[in-house]
Amino acid sequence: MSHNGPSSILVFDVNETLLDITTLEPLFDRVFDDPAILREWFAQLVLYSQTMTLSGLYTPFGELGVGALCMLASIHGKTLVDSDIDELKERMNAMPAHADVVPALARLRDAGFRLVTLTNSASAASPTPLECAGIAEFFERSFSVDAVQKFKPAPEVYRLVAEKLHVELSDICLIACHVWDTIGAQAAGCRGALITRPHNAVLPAARVPIPDLIAPDLSDLADQIIKRWQTQTTR
């Protein structure tokens, strides 16, 4: 979808885009003797969250995460104990921000953009994962799919943000390191910006929306956003 005006509202995905999920690797290394199983777990978690939405069902992301860990343990012939589940929950609530996040968010905020988050997770923990990572102060609001009980990339999730902020979908740019998220946002009427962190890339296939902006890290993406939209945004 083509838009002519600026995107003044930047909506950030949280897990892996802002917060570093590789800090979960020690758990997978200990349980599965292979830290790379983290990627298998995360892929299964995304797959089954989307499966639940397509099936008209809903279970909170954290509970699906525990379930996916148990499923993988069964597949790989490993035995989990309660402390493994507790460690997963603790690590998920305490992931640090990537090194590029704080400087880039500060630049975007100072350039006049409105910043919010939109995540599949719904954490009741206090402090929140964003607070634990020291980046909550940058965001005007934080949205969770729990409000609509559908996971990204369901269009209702992106519409929720636009409705709550009283803006048009075309005013929003969804920033994520997952192309399935930018595809969903663009299909709903938003712009999409992709950060190609390790293990993430554009999907080259017919009729798959190409992100409006693509960058290897958030610092480069901030440069692109400011160059493209700041002048129009601050008029």
What residues pair up with 214 in beta bridges, in sequence order?
A: 194
Tokens 């969804």 — which residue? 174
Per-residue confidence (pLDDT) for residue 124, from 0 to 100? 67
**CATH class given for the domain over 9-19+95-233:** alpha beta
Does this chain's domain 9-19+95-233 share its CATH topology with 21-92? no
pLDDT at residue 99 is higher than 60? yes
Name 106's Cβ contacts closer than 8 Å, sequence gap at least 6. Answer: 138
| Predicted TM-score (pTM) of this structure | 0.93
Which two three-digit tokens encode residue 229?
């939209």
Render pLDDT for 19-59 as a digit per residue (tens, 0 to 9). 999 999 999 999 999 999 999 999 999 999 999 999 999 99
What torsion do the CA atoms of 207, 213, 219, 223 make, to the nearest 10 degrees?
180
Report residue 2's pLDDT band, with 50, 70 and 90 as the boundaries.
Answer: very low
How many CA atoms lie within 13 Å of 22's alpha carbon, on the beta-carbon side?
9
Torsion of CA 11, 229, 212, 214, to 10 degrees: -80
Min mean pLDDT across 3-7, 92-96, 155-159, 203-207 is at 3-7
207: Cβ contacts below 8 Å, ≥ 6 apart: none
Delimit the domains of the chain by residue range. 9-19+95-233, 21-92
- Give domain 21-92's CATH number out of 1.10.340.30, 3.40.50.2000, 3.30.1490.20, 1.10.150.240: 1.10.150.240
Residue 184's nearest CA partner among 7, 18, 46 is 46
